[in-house]
Amino acid sequence: MSMIFGVPLAVLSGQLLIGIINGAFYALLSLGLAVIFGLLKIINFAHGAMYMLGAMTTVLMFDYMGVNYWVALFLAPLVVGVFGVVIEYFLLRRIAGQDHIYSLLLTFGVALIIQGVLINWFGVSGLRYTMPDMFKGGVNLGFMFMPYYRAWVIVAALLVCFGTWFVIEKTKLGSYLRAGTEDSQLMQGFGINVPLLISLTYGFGVALAAFAGVLAAPIYSVTPVMGSSTLIVVFAVVVIGGMGSIGGAIITGILMGVIEGLTKTFYPPASSAVIFLVMVLVLMFRPSGLFGKEA
Amino acid sequence: MNQPVNSADIHKAIVEQQAAQDRKKMMLNGVLLLLLLAAPFIIYPVFLMKILCFALFAVAFNLLFGFTGLLSFGHAAFLATGGYTTGYLLSNYSGLTTEVGIIAGTLTATALGVAFALLSIRRQGIYFAMVTLALAQLVFFFFVQSEFTHGEDGMHGIPRGELFGLINLEDNLNMYYFVLVVFIACYLLVQRIVSSPYGQILKAIKQNEPRAVSLGYNVDRYKVLAFVISAALAGLAGSMKSVVFQLASLNDAHWHMSGEVILMTLVGGMGTLLGPVVGATFVVNIEYQLSQGALRDWVDPILGGIFVLTVLAFRSGIVGELQKFVKKNLG
């Protein structure tokens, strides 16, 4: 069997694949954070909880209502998105004029509530979600085995990332969003309903997180605590990439997933820490982040 | 008819008013001190020590958050580093007296604080919170994988030992008065820092950083120093906590703990001296009461609810709202 740096090619490419998949999740989650940050100027600490809600909704809808994967792929983000709009309307909006630190703390409190309540209902052990039949199995690419579902995750995540980029950069709605990022008061003056736009933006951002949750349901263990540890990694990714550009968030996400995968191959003990170490390096040598303009 | 106003009289009146206020404060502090001295005869001393350790932790955090305006989401790292270092030294080197272990723990946390500060200071606002959270997670992973922390089990049976080789700390009362002395010393230190010219600059940075820069202050240096002092005191709190409970565990390093100290400070009143102490007392009590009753599984959601409620309705916290009330109605 062919070897690269003393590691079998199949193992290396297998870890790379897992890395790319993890990276796709990081990309989706940091993209949602960036979208929310753009207009609301807050970091959504409840983002991990929303990702978890997406996965939990998928599992529960299947268990209790027999809702299949494809329907869940649309329904779960919709449900979580509406939930997000409710949170924005009833909570975040009330402190919109205050220091942004408060909204960050508010979302942290919301995350504690959501996670705590779900732990009480379902415990911390994982719920089981069976993969749709059509995704069972995979294809042998010669140098590695590619499970169908993993291929689908990469394709779906990239499609959604690209779609979001397209909407924000190339459409009328996106131009409103970008204008709102620059000067929301002026835009209100032009007769655009900014509060509605803010609600929808928050809803859309958390829907992206929920979408990632649905994708994660068949391959990761679905538990109420799955969001919090992932979120901290995503924060590091966001610090590394900077939230200045949508494209930057996507590229950094995937890149960090790959680096994590490679570390797992060559030096497993460091794999959970490597992204944080990269963050330290970036802070030392390029404090504004790889793609960031702001300090 | 207008009386001619003598500026000396005005000055005298102000001085008298000031003196009256100071007397009031002194009396309040005296009463508080008496209460603290008498408390262990009424309330279980270990519970009081728990409150004092967390109060010190929150006071340390408040120096950074309340007075400098920097939201660290990683203060658990210092609490845990202090605790583990002290625990490791006291468990493995029986010749060490307790205060040496505590000082060593504090110094290690201080060194970590320097590293955190130099890195996180490069980003501002929300990024600062994220950077500190990520760095603390790195420290958490280190403690999870290290042998000496005993991972999930935690470090048990840390000997309390003897203070200066003289005072037996196994005795809860001795231990309590030691913790109390350290706590009061730190509280007075923070009070001194906040009211010093240096503290004024910290407040200026909090209120308007660009202006502080344009006045010629090297803002980063002040921020780093505030961060390091805060980390040192948080480490001291962790060291003492590990001696009091004879236990150092991963709980102290978890992001949850960083969130808890934010809650304590916020509920008590950020930017006030007494606020974090009141907040810590409040949160520790609530957690204890809940853990005894039917709601014992609901501690986290309830804490989250308090978080949300405080942010929405009582941003100045208990002490802050009281101060406002006193000013409005009695002042």
- Distance (Å, rounded) from C-alpha B273 to C-alpha B319? 9
- Partner B contacted by A293 (CB < 8 A): no
Q: What is the pTM of this model?
A: 0.89
Percent of chain B, pLDDT > 90? Answer: 48
CA A121 to chain centre: 24
List, in sequence order, every residue forming a beta bridge with A8; answer none if it has no partner. Answer: A3
- Partner B contacted by A278 (CB < 8 A): no
Mean pLDDT of chain A: 86
Amino acid B2: pLDDT: 59
- Distance (Å, rounded) from C-alpha A177 to C-alpha A194? 9
Amino acid A87: pLDDT: 94
Distance from CA of A94 to the nearest CA of B (A): 7
Q: What is the pLDDT of residues A133-156, one digit of tens each?
A: 777 777 777 777 788 888 899 999
Amino acid B226: pLDDT: 95
What residues contact residue A6 under an 8 Å CB cut-off, 6+ apart? none
Chain-chain contact of A106 with B308 (C-beta, under 8 angstroms): yes
Amino acid B181: pLDDT: 93
Residue type, A163: G
Domain range list for chain B: 52-254
Q: What is the pLDDT of residues A33-43, one digit of tens each?
A: 988 888 788 88
The partner residue sitting opposite B301, judged by closest CB among A43, A117, A277, is A117
Residue A102 has pLDDT above 60, yes or no: yes
- Distance (Å, rounded) from C-alpha B156 to C-alpha B171? 18
Amino acid A295: pLDDT: 41
Fold of A3-285: ABC transporter involved in vitamin B12 uptake, BtuC (1.10.3470)
Residue A128 has pLDDT above 60, yes or no: yes
pLDDT band at A1 (very low <50, low <70, confident <90, very high): low
- Distance (Å, rounded) from C-alpha B212 to C-alpha B208? 6
- Distance (Å, rounded) from C-alpha B173 to C-alpha B165? 17
- Partner B contacted by A122 (CB < 8 A): no
Residue of B249, B262, B228, B253 whose CA lies nearest to B112:
B228
For residue A127, the 8-state DSSP code is B
CA A196 to chain centre: 23
Q: Which two tokens stand for residue B104?
A: 């060593």
Q: Which residues of A touch B135 (CB under 8 A)?
A: 276, 280
- Distance (Å, rounded) from C-alpha A182 to C-alpha B326? 42
pLDDT band at A194 (very low <50, low <70, confident <90, very high): confident
Q: Which residues of A touch B305 (CB under 8 A)?
A: 109, 113
Chain-chain contact of B315 with A98 (C-beta, under 8 angstroms): yes
Residue A285 has pLDDT above 80, yes or no: yes
Residue B17 has pLDDT above 90, yes or no: no
Amino acid B160: pLDDT: 82
Say if CB B35 and CB B180 are below 8 A apart: no
Q: What is the pLDDT of residues B258-287, one digit of tens each?
A: 999 999 999 999 889 999 999 999 999 998
The pLDDT of B72-87, averaged and rounded, is 94
User: To which H or E segment does residue B259 belong?
Assistant: helix B255-268
What residues contact residue A77 under an 8 Å CB cut-off, 6+ apart? A54, A207, A208, A210, A211, A214
- Distance (Å, rounded) from C-alpha A53 to C-alpha A60? 10
pLDDT band at A17 (very low <50, low <70, confident <90, very high): confident
Mean pLDDT of chain B: 89
Say if CB A168 and CB A177 are below 8 A apart: yes
Give the burial class of A179: count Cβ atoms within 10 A of its Cβ; 0-12 exposed, 13-18 middle, 19 or more buried: middle
Residue A94 has pLDDT above 60, yes or no: yes
- How many Cβ atoms are within 10 Å of A116's Cβ, its own excluded? 21
The partner residue sitting opposite A232, judged by closest CB among B133, B262, B304, is B133
Q: How far is the CA of A255 from the CAs of A30, A226, A246, A259, A275, in angstroms?
A: 13, 22, 14, 6, 10
The partner residue sitting opposite A113, judged by closest CB among B122, B145, B301, is B301
